[in-house]
Amino acid sequence: MSLLLPRPLGERAGVRGEGNEESIMATDSMTQPPPVRPQPPTPNPQSPLIELRNLKKYFPVRSGVFSRVSAWVKAVDEVSFIIQPRETFGLVGESGCGKTTVGRTLLRLIEPTGGEVFFQGRDFCQFSAAQVRQARQQMQMIFQDPYSSLNPRMTIGAIIGEALKVHGLARGEALDRQVGVLLERVGLAATYRSRYPHEFSGGQRQRIGIARALALEPQFIVCDEPVSALDVSIQAQILNLLQDLQNDLGLSYLFISHDLNVVEYIADRVAVMYLGKLVEVAPVDELFRNPQHPYTLALMSANPVPDPTVQTQRTVLTGDVPSPLNPPSGCAFHTRCPQAMERCKTTPPPLVRSGQGTAEHSVWCHLYGEGTDE
Ligand SMILES: Nc1ncnc2c1ncn2[C@@H]1O[C@H](COP(=O)(O)OP(=O)(O)OP(=O)(O)O)[C@@H](O)[C@H]1O
Ligand code: SF4
Ligand SMILES: [Mg+2]
């Protein structure tokens, strides 16, 4: 499904004309009142841009001749957080912990099993399919692999301009001009529009992916490991570009990564995820200065430190990551936690909070008292 949908803006709005959907409606309206376009409910400016409440995504596992559901993969289980306008919210964790599934479910590219997603205070899960399409123009995604995410048979101009064209927002010279502006916005020459993806390096391809995501002028972008396939020297350039775009365009990001150094560099707040659940959320400086959850400590001690003179205390995790098909009871981390207690095996850990608002530090762990249940 394409994320790129129309948005009547300035010059683009003027491009709408004969032969498009709206003019067909005008002809029909001679006998009937014009159909009402399904508009999303009015945004609430006081609300966070994005709010997840107890989001769940379980994938069915089917087996047998009749493909009956025999089990569920709990990819995302009761995940809650907010993202404010102009904020970069980092999401970190080991491979398979559910990061991508959070991003895809949040955008309703896949339907949640339970929980709620609010976009500007509006219950996104209650939107009709048409309202989702309308709202999703403000929510885009940048993918991990800059090689497979661009169609090798399309020119760069066709890739970036596809949504604008398909939805009748620009065509002909106006489309070319718009694509050129987008290419220059991400640091590439406007003349590249006639070239093909194989002519570009990984970093340039990721810039093209970013230009495509910007075409409809979104407010929010899910960046799913956008630099993990790139050389370290190129990573910094792409991260700086994302920061510049955020400053200039007022964007918010959900920034997914398994690399703590990258998240420390770009994020304002960070959530640490393990086996489908959040285990710790804090402002980035607070998390790196004062990590509390044993899993966060283990991730940090496994993280390469750029300065070799810095001595770090290492926490080495033992055991494999359990399967999300059958996560451990109590605290899902208890099978690997160096500080596990008896009650960790049976009782889910409480949520313990300190600080307030975006300065809040949340940790789900029995080491930190009874806390408050959500
Ligand atoms: N469509 C699907 N059907 C069944 N299981 C799925 C599907 N998509 C993801 N999963 C499972 O859900 C869990 C979470 O997957 P997800 O891709 O969200 O993890 P991730 O944290 O993004 O991992 P990575 O860092 O490797 O990208 C994994 O166990 C994965 O196998
Ligand atoms: S709840 Fe128990 S097992 Fe889980 S992280 Fe805390 S101490 Fe370790
Ligand atoms: Mg992923």
Shortest-distance Cα residue to atom 31 of ligand 1: 96
Question: Is 115 a pocket residue for ligand 1 (Cβ < 6 Å)?
Answer: no
Residue bearing tokens 């106006």: 174
pLDDT of residue 240: 97
pLDDT at 197: 96
Task: Give the H or E element holding residue 221.
Answer: strand 220-224
Give the pLDDT of residue 11: 35
φ, ψ (nearest 5 deg) of residue 11: -60, -40
Could you say which residues of the chain have pLDDT below 50?
Answer: 1-31, 34-35, 371-374
Going by alpha carbons, the residue nearest to atom 3 of ligand 2 is 334
pLDDT tens digits, 80-106: 999 999 999 999 999 999 999 999 999
What is the Cα Rg of the chain in Å?
23
User: pLDDT at position 36, please?
Assistant: 52
Query: Would you state the pLDDT for residue 309?
Result: 61
To test ligand 2's pocket by mutation, which of 341, 343, 351, 370 has the most ligand atoms within 8 angstroms of CB? 341
Residue-wise pLDDT for 250-265, tens only, equals 999 999 999 999 999 9
Best residue among 297, 334, 336, 362 to mutate for probing ligand 2's pocket (most ligand atoms within 8 Å of CB) is 334
The residue whose two tokens read 């991400």 is 186
Cα(203)–Cα(189) distance, integer angstroms: 14
- The predicted pLDDT at position 32 comes to 52
Tell which one of 57, 59, 72, 111 to mutate to probe ligand 1, the residue whose CB is within 8 A of the most ligand atoms: 59
* pLDDT tens readout for residues 130-147: 888 778 789 999 998 878
- End-to-end alpha-carbon separation of the chain, Å? 34
The per-residue pLDDT for 33 is 52
Q: Which atom of ligand 1 approaches the CA of 101 most closely? A: 18
What is the reported pLDDT for 306? Answer: 61
Give the nearest ligand 2 atom to 341 CA: 2
Is the C-beta atom of 113 inside 6 A of ligand 1? no
- In the numeric block, the tokens 């899993």 are attached to 295
pLDDT of residue 144: 87
